[in-house]
Amino acid sequence: MNNHLSIIGVPMDLGQMRRGVDMGPSAIRYAGMIERLEQLKYEIEDLGDIEIPRPKVSNPEKLDNLRNLNEIAEGSSRLAAEVDQVVEKGQFPLVLGGDHSIAMGTLAGLSKHYDNLGVIWYDAHGDLNTADSSPSGNIHGMPLAVSLGIGHEKLTSIHGYEPKIKPENIVIIGARSLDEGERVLIKEKGIKVYTMHEVDRMGMTKVMEESMDYLKDRTDGVHLSLDLDGLDPNEAPGVGTPVLGGLSYRESHLAMEMLYQSGMITSAEFVEVNPILDEKNKTATVAVGLMGSLFGESLK
């Protein structure tokens, strides 16, 4: 794995309705992320936080059934440019959220550097909604669809090109809350999904082995997009859309350790840490622990 890490904070809270997730990057830093990674002998450059534009009114109307469309598109474009520069310099982008809408900007900045960028989407949700299928109009439920080129043009065209990724290069792990429109899109596009049923039946070791085997020959880089609501709320309570029956702390550490050993991860983001909803910064501490495993921490 690249030894030079560039940290990018994205205090984005416009993709959903629950305030506080904009403090996620600060909470993760406060939980000792930089010190943890420095102990693993990485060279770290913390680039600070992207400036996110704010709506002019406290409760803006939806535009084309999309909440805060213009501000999210602008913030995502700023993130895409930052990620693009990090990759151009030969460094590993580690992005801190913020809600999961930020993945649109991350993937936009990454994908132009790869012919076949793979994505591991570690999440309770598919995030494959569109303005037509979304029950809420919240854009944090749409970034994977947008990155496939499906959705509003202001979002799909971020950083000047589309699509960013191909459906056959995606693996979703930990899904347990999929809307009907997402189920249809998954079947239509042939997206590989490991729901909690598969994780329980097969075990995390088998799920990760199959996921890595599936991606290794078809991709030239793999991005990990880890939503803390992929874990069970008992393990990670400080998230905006908790879903019971999620991945355990131990399963998640195993997954991160296996990804490190594979050497295939070329970028990562950790999102949806909301300290207002948390218990003594527990969720940010979990995120930092998982980063430790992803970047090579072990007992041996």
Answer yes or no: is 253 a known binding residue: no
23-75 pLDDT per residue, tens: 999 999 999 999 999 999 999 999 999 999 988 776 666 788 899 999 999 99
Name the residue ranges covered by the structural domains of the chain: 4-294
Residue 227: active-site member:
yes
Of 99, 272, 278, 297, the catalytic one is 272
Answer yes or no: is 100 a known binding residue: yes
Residue 125: active-site member:
yes
pLDDT in tens, the chain (300 residues): 789 999 999 999 999 988 999 999 999 999 999 999 999 999 999 999 999 998 877 666 678 889 999 999 999 999 999 999 999 999 999 999 999 999 999 999 999 999 999 999 999 999 999 988 888 889 999 999 999 999 999 999 999 999 999 999 999 999 999 999 999 999 999 999 999 999 999 999 999 999 999 999 999 999 999 999 999 999 999 999 999 999 999 999 999 999 999 999 999 999 999 999 999 999 999 999 999 999 999 866
Answer yes or no: is 125 a known binding residue: yes
Residue 49: active-site member:
no
Q: Identify the bridge partners of residue 96 per DSSP, sorted by sequence position.
A: 9, 270
Q: Identify the bridge partners of residue 120 per DSSP, sorted by sequence position.
A: 171, 224
* Residue 109: closest CA among 142, 132, 76: 76
Answer yes or no: is 159 a known binding residue: no
In sequence order, the 6+-apart residues with CB closer than 8 A to the CB of 273 are 21, 24, 27, 28, 96, 97, 228, 238, 239, 283, 284, 287
Give the pLDDT score at 55: 86
Give the pLDDT score at 167: 98
Answer yes or no: is 227 a known binding residue: yes
Give the pLDDT score at 300: 62
Q: Supply the pTM of this predicted model.
A: 0.97
3-state secondary structure the chain: CCCEEEEEEECCCCCCCCCCHHHHHHHHHHCCHHHHHHHCCCEEEEEEECCCCCCCCCCCCCECCECCHHHHHHHHHHHHHHHHHHHHCCCEEEEEECCHHHHHHHHHHHHCCCCCEEEEEECCECCCCCCCCCCCCCHHHCHHHHHCCCCCHHHHCHHHCCCCCCHHHEEEEEECECCHHHHHHHHHHCCEEEEHHHHHHHCHHHHHHHHHHHHHCCCCEEEEEEEHHHECCCCCCCCCCCCCCCECHHHHHHHHHHHHHHCCEEEEEEECCCHHHCCCCHHHHHHHHHHHHHCCCCCC
Determine contact, residues 267/110, Cβ cutoff 8 Å.
Answer: yes
Of 229, 251, 257, 278, the catalytic one is 229
Of 13, 140, 223, 269, the catalytic one is 140
Residue 84: active-site member:
no
The domain defined by 4-294 carries CATH number 3.40.800.10: yes
Give the pLDDT score at 26: 98
Of 227, 232, 251, 297, the catalytic one is 227
Instruction: Report the share of the chain in percent with pLDDT over 90.
Output: 91
Determine contact, residues 237/277, Cβ cutoff 8 Å.
Answer: yes
Residue 229: active-site member:
yes
- How far, rounded to the nearest angstrom, does the alpha carbon of residue 106 sit from its chain's CA centroid? 9
Of 82, 84, 123, 269, the catalytic one is 123
285-294 pLDDT per residue, tens: 999 999 999 9
Give the pLDDT score at 265: 98
